[in-house]
Structure 1
Amino acid sequence: MTYVLLIVGFALLIKGADYFVEGASSIARALKVSPLLIGLTIVAFGTSSPEATVSIVAALEENAGVAVGNVVGSNIFNITLVVGLTALINPLTVENETIRKEIPFTFLASAVLLVLISDAALHGFNENFITRSDGLIFLLFFSIFLYYIFEVARKSREAVKEEKETRETVSWSKNGLLTIGGLAAIIFGGELVVNHATEIAYSFGMSETLVGLTIVAVGTSLPELITSITAAMKRESEIALGNIVGSNIFNIFFVLGSASVISPLAVDSKIYIDVLLLMMITVVLFIFSRTHFTIGKREGFILSVAYILYMVYILMRN
C-alpha cells in the first residue's frame, strides 16, 4: 500500500502542477502582472509548502536533522537538478532583474544561514543551533524580500498598462479553480510522496540526516521540479526560473525562520559542507545566467550531472 500511495502522490503532483501553471499564468496576464512575479510569489510559495509543512512538523517533533537537511537539500536539488532538467527540455530565458537582484538575494540567504549556524566557530559554543532569535532574523529578511516583490509588482503593472490593451476574455472562476485545485493537488501529492518515501527509506535503515538531505529533500522539491518542467514545456520560462529562485529564498528565510521560532534547531556539523556547496552552485547559476541571459542545454546538463555527483558524495559521506 505504501508503494501504491507513493505512485498516487506522483500522479497528483504531475497533474496538479499542470493545472496550477495554466491557472496562475492566466491570472497573471489578466491582472497585468509579469509571469516572473507570479513565479516568484504564488508559484514559489505554493510549491514550497511541502518543505514548510515537513520542516515545521519536524521542529515540533524536535527532529532538527530532518528540518534543516530538508531545506538545504531541497535548495541544492532546485538549483542543480530542477534548473538542469528544465533547461534541457527548453532553454531558460533569464531576465535582467533576476540576474541583478533575485539570484544575489538567493546567495545572501545561503550566506546568512552559514553565519547563523556557526555558533561554535564564531562564539565558541559547544554546539551549533538555529535559535529563536536567529529565526526572527530570517523572518526579517523574508519581510524585506516581500517588500521587494510588492515593488516589482507595482512597477510591472505600470509597465504593462503602457502597452497596448488586449481584448482577451478571462474566465476568473475557471482559472481560480485551476490554480487552487492544482495547488491543493501539489501539496497533497507532495505529502503523500514524502511520507511514504520516508517510510520506505527508514525500512532500508537510512539515518535521519541522510533522509532529510535525500528522500525528504527530493520529495518536497518534486512540486518545484514538476511545476518548472511543466512551465518550460508551456514556454513560460519566467515562471520556471522565478519558481526556483523564489522557492529557495522562501525555504531559508520563511521555512527555517518559522521552524526555529517554534523550536530552536540543533545543527549537524556535516551540514556546513552542504551550505558551502549551496553557495557555490548559486554562484555557478549566476555565471550561467549571465551567458547571453539564457541557461541553455549545455548548462542544464552540467547542473544535472552536478546533482548526481552530490548524491554520490553524501551517500558515501554518510
Structure 2
Amino acid sequence: MLLASFAILIGLPVLLWSASKFVGGAAAVANHFGVSPLLIGMLIIGFGTSAPEIIVSIFAAIQGNSGIALGNAYGSNIANIMLILGLTALISPIAVRSEIIKKELPVLLGITFFAAWQLLDQQVSKDDAFSLLGLFVLLISWSIWHGMQGSKDALADEYSEELNTTEGTVKTHVIWLIAGLLLLVASSRMLVWGAVEVAGFFGVSDTIIGLTVIAIGTSLPELASSLIAVKKGEHDLALGNVIGSNMFNTLAVVGIAGTIQPMAVSADFLYRDVIVMLAATVALFVFCIGIKRQGRLNRLEGGVLVAAYTGYTYWLITAAFI
C-alpha cells in the first residue's frame, strides 16, 4: 500500500511535467517549420493536453483495467467542464468571441451524445471503438482544413501570441519532445499500477479511482492552461483547450483503449457518470453559445458548475464505501 501510494504521488506530477514538455516541444518544432498557429493549437496543443489521459488509458486497457480507462476519459471530461471551467469563471468570467469555438460547441455536444448512445448496451465493443476513431479522423481533417484557411479569428490570434513567447533552438525542443514522451510512458505505467493497488486495498472499484484521483490529476494541465490564459485575457484559448481536450478524450482516448480491449460498462457508470457528463456538456453549450447575446460563462454559472462537481464527487465517494 505504501509503495502504491508513493507510485501515485510520484507518477502524477512526473506525468503532468512530461506532458507539458512534450506539448511545448512539439508546438515549438511545428512553429519553426511554419505550421499555422491555429493548426498547432487545435491539433498539437489539443492532443497534448489529452496526452496524460491517452497514455494512462492505453496502459489501463492493456492491463485489463477498463474501469480506469473509461473513468479517466469521462471523469476528465466532467472535471474539465465543471471543475476547471467553473473555477476559471469564478476567478474571471469567460467571454466567447471566437466563431470557431461557437462551431466546436455543437460538435462536442453531438460527439458526447453519440458516445453515450454507444454505451446503452453497457459495453465499448471494437466496432464502437473504431467508429469513435473514424469520427476522430473526420474531426482532425476538419481541424486541418480550418488551420490551412489562414482566416483571422480570435482563437487563432491567441494561439499566435502564445507561440511567439516560445524560446530555444529546434534541437532543444526536439530533445524535450522525445524526453517528454518517454517520461509520459514511464509515469503512466507507474500511476496505473499504483491506482489499481490502492483501489484493491480499500475495496473500491478501479472505476471510482479513475473518475476521481486519476481524472482530476490528468486534468491539471487544462486547469493550469485555462487559468494562465484567462489571466492574460485569452478567454477563447481557455475555453478552446477544454473543448479540444474533451473531444480528444471522448473519441481518441476511449477509441484507442477500446481497440486494445473491449470494455464492459457497469449500470452505475452508465446511469450516473455518463448522465453527469451529458448534463455538464449541455450546460456548457447553453452558457456559451450566446443566443441573442455574446456567449459567456459568468461567475454565477461558474459557481453552479463547481458546486455541482463538489456534490458529484461526494456522491462518488459515498457510493464507493457503502
Q: Same-fold call, TM > 0.5?
A: yes
TM-score range, shorter chain: 0.7 to 0.9
Equivalent in the alignment of 2:246? 248
Equivalent in the alignment of 2:65? 63
Q: CA RMSD in A?
A: 3.5
Report the CA distance between 1:8 and its aligned residue. Answer: 4.8
Matched residues in 2 for 1:206 and 1:132: separation?
27
Report the CA distance between 1:149 and its aligned residue. Answer: 0.3
Equivalent in the alignment of 2:125? 131
Report the CA distance between 1:234 and its aligned residue. Answer: 3.9
Equivalent in the alignment of 2:306? 304
Q: Say whether the 8 Å CA contact 1:81–1:303 is kept in structure 2.
A: yes
Equivalent in the alignment of 2:267? 269
Inter-CA distance 67–22: structure 2 relative to 1 (3 Å threshold): closer
Equivalent in the alignment of 1:125? none
Equivalent in the alignment of 1:212? 210
Matched residues in 2 for 1:114 and 1:286: separation?
17
**Alignment of structure 1 residues 186-225 onto 2, 5 Å:** 196=194, 199-225=197-223
After the TM superposition, which of the residue ranges 286-295 and 109-118 deviates more from structure 2?
Answer: 286-295
Q: TM-score, normalised by structure 1?
A: 0.79
Report the CA distance between 1:217 and its aligned residue. Answer: 1.7
Inter-CA distance 100–109: structure 2 relative to 1 (3 Å threshold): same
Matched residues in 2 for 1:176 and 1:233: separation?
29
Matched residues in 1 for 2:196 and 2:63: separation?
16
Partner residue of 1:101 out of 99, 103, 106: 103
Matched residues in 2 for 1:184 and 1:91: separation?
37
Q: Structure 1 residue 294 and structure 2 residue 281: aligned?
A: no
Partner residue of 2:235 out of 219, 234, 237: 237
Matched residues in 2 for 1:171 and 1:28: separation?
13
Unaligned ranges ≥5, structure 1: 120-127
Matched residues in 2 for 1:197 and 1:132: separation?
25
Matched residues in 2 for 1:88 and 1:180: separation?
37
Inter-CA distance 182–39: structure 2 relative to 1 (3 Å threshold): farther
Q: Which amino acid aligns with 1:135?
A: A
Inter-CA distance 56–16: structure 2 relative to 1 (3 Å threshold): closer
Q: Say whether the 8 Å CA contact 2:55–2:188 is kept in structure 1.
A: no
Residues 100-125 of structure 1: CA distance to partner in whole angstroms, max 9, x if unpaired? 32111111121111221122xxxxxx
Q: Percentage identity across aligned positions? A: 36
Inter-CA distance 235–180: structure 2 relative to 1 (3 Å threshold): farther
Q: Secondary structure of the equivalent of 2:64?
A: coil
Inter-CA distance 180–278: structure 2 relative to 1 (3 Å threshold): same
Inter-CA distance 53–176: structure 2 relative to 1 (3 Å threshold): closer
Equivalent in the alignment of 2:117? 115
Unaligned ranges ≥5, structure 2: none
Q: Which amino acid aligns with 1:70?
A: N
Aligned residues: 304
Report the CA distance between 1:132 and its aligned residue. Answer: 0.9
